[in-house]
């Protein structure tokens, strides 16, 4: 398996001051609007998708920090299914067809279901939650996600007494996701949470951002957002959720288990083997700031890990 690993000295100048942030406005005005929105060029389909978000209510979990500009959020991110550089998803994700889209929920549940995502959106109260979302390479954003608690979906399928974990799986279709033709990771992309983590109200399934339908490059049409964990845990373009008795395999933990643990909680006291995680740079800022334990959500989630050795279970 070929895994792309950069050394500390390999950091490009464009990653020190994110190139996507400065080029996004030019890209947007030069005809990249369709890619940035991740919508079909058919106006009727785009309008239907936008209306499906419906009226939004503000979540009590929303951060009060300044939001990262929409153009930066949609032009600078990781989504290896569309390329290994952070500008690649916005340029290449137009090949993804996010509608129609089915989501299968199965495993240790009493009521397994296959759901059409737009039906799920139409029948579920949506809210806007603004989170500090930390990514693995010491940069972060403040994103106003539109979605609903993952717990509401899990309660709907009624987990059995054997269910201890929740496994997630991304679409596997190299025609739509050409990056899957390369052996960058074991495809399809997989992630997982402990059941109590998944049931926490901070864990959401996002279907939009900034009040708009979720762009392709940000994980359309439905993705996970777990704001107290590093960004790679927030799996995109989900097609399957499976409740399991045993801890599931996850993409980065399989690829590099010494570097990426199953839990992936934001922890400034536990460094990645190749870089410090004590500091982060907010997209658009020049200087770094201290990384906060659990990304600042310690009051809400610390009890989930009471008594755990967070260096061992990283």
Computed over every residue of the chain, the mean pLDDT equals 87
Find the range with the poorest average confidence among 56-60, 167-171, 221-225, 242-246: 56-60
Summarize the confidence of residues 215-237 as an average pLDDT. Answer: 98
Give residues with Cβ within 8 angstroms of 47, minimum separation 6. none
Is 145 strand, coil or helix? strand
Closest CA to 77 of 34, 11, 19: 19
Phi/psi for 37 (5° steps) reads: -80, -25
Q: In angstroms, rounded to a whole number, what is the distance separating the alpha carbons of residues 256 and 237?
A: 22
Q: How does residue 179 score in pLDDT terms, banded at 50, 70 and 90?
A: very high
Summarize the confidence of residues 259-273 as an average pLDDT. Answer: 95
Residue 111, class by beta-carbon neighbours within 10 Å (0-12 exposed, 13-18 middle, 19+ buried)? exposed
Decide which of 99 and 1 is more confident.
Answer: 99
Q: Would you state the torsion angle of the CA atoms of residues 73, 86, 53, 26, taken in this order, to the nearest 10 degrees?
A: 60
* pLDDT of residue 18 exceeding 60: no
Cα-only R_g, the chain: 18
Q: In angstroms, rounded to a whole number, what is the distance separating the alpha carbons of residues 164 and 150?
A: 15
* CA 287 from centroid of its chain's CA atoms: 25
Q: What is the pLDDT of residue 136?
A: 80
Classify domain 28-305 by CATH number. Answer: 3.90.420.10
Is 287 strand, coil or helix? coil
Summarize the confidence of residues 147-161 as an average pLDDT. Answer: 98
* pLDDT of residue 26 exceeding 50: no
Tens digits of residue pLDDT in 54-71: 788 889 889 989 999 999
Percent of the chain at pLDDT exceeding 90? 77
Tens digits of residue pLDDT in 110-127: 999 999 999 999 889 999
Q: In angstroms, rounded to a whole number, what is the distance separating the alpha carbons of residues 34 and 49?
A: 14
What is the 3-state secondary structure of 177-236? CHHHHCCCCCCCCEEEEEHHHHCCCCCEEEEEECCEECCHHHCCCCEEECCCECHHHCCC
Q: What is the pLDDT of residue 205?
A: 98
212 with 50: CB under 8 angstroms? yes
């Amino acid at each position: 398996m070929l895994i792309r690993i950069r050394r500390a000295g390999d950091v490009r100048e464009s990653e020190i001051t994110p190139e996507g942030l400065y080029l996004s406005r030019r890209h947007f005005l030069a005809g990249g609007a369709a890619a940035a929105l991740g919508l079909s060029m058919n106006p009727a389909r785009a309008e239907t998708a936008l209306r499906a978000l419906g009226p939004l209510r503000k979540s009590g979990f929303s951060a009060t920090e300044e939001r990262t500009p929409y153009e930066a959020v949609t032009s600078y991110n990781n989504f290896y299914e569309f390329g290994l550089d952070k500008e690649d998803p916005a340029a290449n994700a137009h090949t993804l067809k996010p509608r129609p889209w089915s989501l299968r929920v199965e495993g240790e549940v009493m009521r397994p279901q296959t759901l059409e995502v737009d039906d799920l959106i139409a029948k579920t109260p949506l809210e806007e939650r603004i989170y500090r979302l930390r990514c693995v390479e010491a940069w972060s954003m403040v994103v106003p996600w539109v979605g609903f608690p993952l717990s509401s979906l899990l309660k709907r399928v009624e987990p059995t007494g054997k269910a201890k974990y929740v496994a997630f799986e991304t679409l596997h279709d190299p025609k739509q996701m050409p990056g899957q033709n390369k052996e960058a990771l074991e495809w399809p992309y997989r992630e997982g949470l402990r059941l109590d983590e998944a049931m926490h109200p901070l864990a959401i399934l996002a279907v939009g951002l900034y009040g708009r339908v979720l762009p392709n490059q940000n994980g359309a049409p439905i993705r996970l957002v777990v704001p107290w964990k590093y960004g790679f845990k927030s799996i995109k373009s989900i097609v399957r959720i499976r409740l399991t008795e045993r801890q599931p395999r996850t993409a980065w933990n399989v690829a590099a288990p010494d570097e990426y643990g199953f839990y992936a909680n934001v922890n400034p006291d536990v460094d990645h083997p190749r870089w410090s995680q004590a500091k982060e740079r907010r997209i658009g800022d020049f200087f770094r700031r201290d990384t906060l334990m659990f990304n600042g959500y310690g009051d809400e989630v610390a009890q989930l890990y009471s008594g755990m050795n967070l260096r061992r279970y990283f």
